[in-house]
């Protein structure tokens, strides 16, 4: 979907989908989208874009773009989710530093405060994926 100022409504934009890649970057800055694609493709090396096994490469590309001052419209903590083959989906908390220097979990780009409870799995760029146990201990786990 893309907003069309001429129509004053959102319209389907076929250019957003991809038949040549297993991942798609969407944004209002075509240079940032192009850079994210290039960073991701570089991570895959010489493998064909249709034959790669996509893991966290697009996330890492987006994280790199988000802190690059050349792309002022891209920023904040990336939002992370997974769509499984059986069409179930899972959103993740993302552990990231705040402007004040604290490291907090974020959901949908917003910091999750200590008083808020969540059963969602956590993604820490340093450790990978893990689940919080009921007693507060972290349990490292890879998502299925």
DSSP 52-88: ---SSHHHHHHHHHHT-TT-TT--SPPPEEEE-TTS-
* DSSP-H helix ranges across 1-144: 30-44, 57-66
pLDDT in tens, 71-80: 998 888 888 8
Residue 5 has what pLDDT? 85
State the Cα–Cα distance between residues 38 and 56, nearest whole angstrom.
15
Instruction: Please say if the pLDDT value at position 83 is more than 90.
Output: no
Query: What are the residue boundaries of the structural domains of the chain, listed by start?
Result: 1-75, 76-144
Residue 31 has what pLDDT? 92
pTM of the predicted model, to two decimals? 0.65
Reported as a pLDDT band with limits 50, 70 and 90, residue 144 is very low
Distance, first Cα to last Cα, the chain: 29
Residue 11 has what pLDDT? 76
């Amino acid at each position: 979907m893309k907003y069309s100022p001429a129509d004053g409504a959102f319209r389907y934009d076929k250019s957003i989908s991809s038949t040549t890649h297993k991942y798609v970057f969407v944004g209002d800055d075509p240079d940032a989208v192009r850079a994210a694609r290039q960073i991701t493709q570089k991570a895959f090396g010489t493998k064909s874009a249709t034959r790669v096994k996509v893991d966290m490469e697009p996330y890492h590309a987006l994280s790199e773009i988000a802190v690059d001052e050349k792309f002022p419209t891209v920023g904040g903590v990336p939002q992370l989710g997974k769509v499984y083959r059986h069409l179930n989906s899972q959103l993740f908390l993302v552990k990231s530093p705040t402007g004040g220097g604290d490291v907090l979990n974020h959901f949908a780009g917003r910091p999750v405060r200590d008083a808020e409870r969540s059963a969602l799995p956590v993604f820490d760029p340093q450790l990978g994926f893990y689940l919080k146990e009921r007693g507060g201990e972290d349990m490292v786990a890879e998502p299925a």
